[in-house]
Amino acid sequence: MKNRSILIGLDGATFHLLDPLMQDGTMPFLKEFVESGVRGNLLSVIPPLTPPAWTSLMTGVNPGNHGIFDFFQKEKGGLHIRFTTHHDVRSETIWSIADRQNAKITTLNFPLMMPPPEINGYVISGGWMTWRQIRLGCHPEDLYERVKALPGFNARELAMDMSHEEKALEGCRLDEYEEWIRMHIGREEQWMNILKYLMRKDPCELTAILFDGVDKIQHLCWRFLSPKYLNGDMSVQEQRIRNLCLEYFSKLDRILLEINELAGPDARIIMASDHGFGAQTQTFFVNSWLAQNGYLSWAKKGKSKENRSGGLGMSQLSKHVYMIDWEKTLAYASTPSSNGIHIVMEDKDHKNGVALTEYKQFRDELVEKLYGVTNPVTGKAVVSRVWTREEAFNGPYTELAPDLTMILGDGGLISILNSDEPVRQRDETAGTHRMEGVIMARGPGVCQGKSVDAVSILDVAPLILYTLGMEIPKQMEGRMPSEIFEVSYLQANPVKDSGDFEIRESVHWEESERMVYDEEAEAAMAERLRALGYIE
């Protein structure tokens, strides 16, 4: 096997936390890794959100070209939303490009891989999958039975649970933290056991795995991890929570060490995150602000108020369809995750919507007013940046994006819930996404002990293909970050950039709705939709 590359995804990783953890001895292997390789910040997409960011990393193009903007996709011509699937990815990925160039691939736990692509190798989908659906997210068909036979395999622990996901963003009781963190430690061990089995049994040219517990733990436990919030006032229970968080990162460090040992000295190891992390100290109830400014009207079902300072509405997703009076609404936010505002356009179903001739003026008015929103406690601006869809995204699928996308002053997520106060200080500081993630690399030809300037997340796909000695499609917006490699290596191994994307003729709007489930999986899907508010 001439070229072998390992991609390790660390969802939400940030040097703001990793550096202290490397210095205090919690992550000794990672410290040794960056000292003997390359490190740098990785700039995410707008917004710095898991599905569009990982998809940009896998495709080398921005969301306007790959069509992914959120965990959820707006139904064409309607107001309802549905889960985003692999069918919605409109650009070719590194998995299929490598497959076409005769490589074998293992890819585990990456989002938007359901249904799994039929590549030469092994796929276990990540993202919105209940434990009953894991076998449907496996390729080839017999893979689930093989990993199910591994010692200690636990499908319930491996899959995502909506109640656990909600805790990451909405918070939970302090006495629930410890069990929740232990669950994420066990989940990473499950993924590592599968990876270990596949790397030993059938090593591939490209092996990739995503560890998403980093993101979840930072969301809920930021105040127990960030040096800025650490002080001597922790209770015994809070100190136990912090110690468990450190145990998670220590375990992750040992996992990274084991992957490197399995890969051997001839493989190139690339670690990357989809975005970074920081503190969220306030909540912006966007729909309430829109209502108070005459742009949105609540239906009777939507009039109940949010009493918590940090409620985002994850458990109310899609209920916006029933909570809002569409005859009187001109603009709304449908999900907390995208930080986006949609404008209701005039058509046969929305006769009171915004006329096409008035669209730009209406949108400009919204932008101006959003910049004027201030926190009543701090007096600071709540919104630091507003992008129109044309400013943020370039490509044929820009129309799928929200009309406006915001970055908040504290980097936080918006709330779609109703509240008497559109802006409220959070009772407890939470963790939320930032633009600056991380990239780290080591292996043959890679510089040693070097820090590079910020790299775009779009550059990772060309980087992966280069390490495999493959052609880089000219349609990729990202560049191959040559500063990661020694000059002599680059001279001996010039970039091959004459490749081309393959036309994905199988991608159609209608196909994204067509996923075949058996009765058991249909029941699991119904349970998940009920939890999110699709089904009463």
Annotated domain spans of the chain: 5-275+435-532, 281-338+372-430
Task: Read off the pLDDT of residues 19-55 as tens digits, 9 standing for 90 and up.
Answer: 999 999 999 999 999 999 999 999 999 989 999 999 9
* Superfamily of the domain at 5-275+435-532: Alkaline Phosphatase, subunit A (3.40.720.10)
Work out the number of other CB atoms within 10 angstroms of the CB of residue 389. Answer: 20
Q: What is the DSSP letter of 345?
A: B
Q: Which residue has the tokens 């918070």?
A: 171
Q: At what angle do helices 213-225 and 177-201 cross, to 10 degrees?
A: 140
Q: What is the DSSP letter of 335?
A: -
Which residues 6+ apart lie within 8 Å of 528 measured at CB?
A: 128, 130, 162
Q: How far is CA 291 from the centre of its chain?
A: 29
Confidence of residue 128 (pLDDT cuts 50, 70, 90): low
Which residues 6+ apart lie within 8 Å of 419 measured at CB?
A: 285, 288, 305, 306
Task: Read off the pLDDT of residues 191-244 as tens digits, 9 standing for 90 and up.
Answer: 999 999 999 999 999 999 999 999 999 999 999 999 888 877 888 999 999 999
Q: How far apart are CA 121 and CA 103, in angstroms?
A: 9
SS3 474: coil
pLDDT of residue 334: 84
Task: Read off the pLDDT of residues 284-322 as tens digits, 9 standing for 90 and up.
Answer: 999 999 999 999 999 876 555 554 544 444 445 445 567
DSSP per-residue codes, 142-164: THHHHHHTSTT--HHHHS--HHH
Angle at 213 between CA 208 and CA 217, to 5 degrees: 155
Confidence of residue 501 (pLDDT cuts 50, 70, 90): low
Average pLDDT, the chain: 87
pLDDT at 107 over 50: yes
Q: What is the arithmetic mean of pLDDT over 73-94?
A: 77
Q: Which residue has the tokens 């108070």?
A: 292
Sign of CA dihedral 195, 199, 203, 209: positive
- Identify the CA nearest to 393 among candidates 44, 157, 67: 67
Residue 430: strand pairing partners: 280
Cβ–Cβ < 8 Å for 456, 61: no
Ranges assigned E (strand) in 259-333: 268-272, 276-284, 331-332
pLDDT of residue 304: 53
pLDDT at 505 over 60: no
Copy the structure tokens of residue 76. 């064409």
**Between residues 485 and 133, which one has the greater pLDDT?**
485
Copy the structure tokens of residue 378. 């701090």
pLDDT of residue 9: 98
Q: What is the arithmetic mean of pLDDT over 492-500?
A: 82
Q: How far apart are CA 118 and CA 125, in angstroms?
A: 12
pLDDT of residue 135: 87
Task: Read off the pLDDT of residues 265-279 as tens digits, 9 standing for 90 and up.
Answer: 999 999 999 999 999
pLDDT of residue 367: 98
pLDDT at 369 over 60: yes
Q: Which residue has the tokens 């689930």?
A: 144
Confidence of residue 67 (pLDDT cuts 50, 70, 90): very high
Q: What is the arithmetic mean of pLDDT over 63-74?
A: 86
Residue 433: strand pairing partners: 277
**Between residues 425 and 301, which one has the greater pLDDT?**
425
pLDDT of residue 503: 46
Cβ–Cβ < 8 Å for 222, 429: yes
SS3 487: helix
Kindly state the helix (H) or strand (E) to which residue 395 belongs, with its residue range.
Answer: none
Q: Which residue has the tokens 């912090």?
A: 242
SS3 376: coil
Residue 292: strand pairing partners: none
Q: How far apart are CA 467 and CA 208, in angstroms?
A: 13
Task: Read off the pLDDT of residues 139-160 as tens digits, 9 standing for 90 and up.
Answer: 999 999 999 999 989 888 887 6
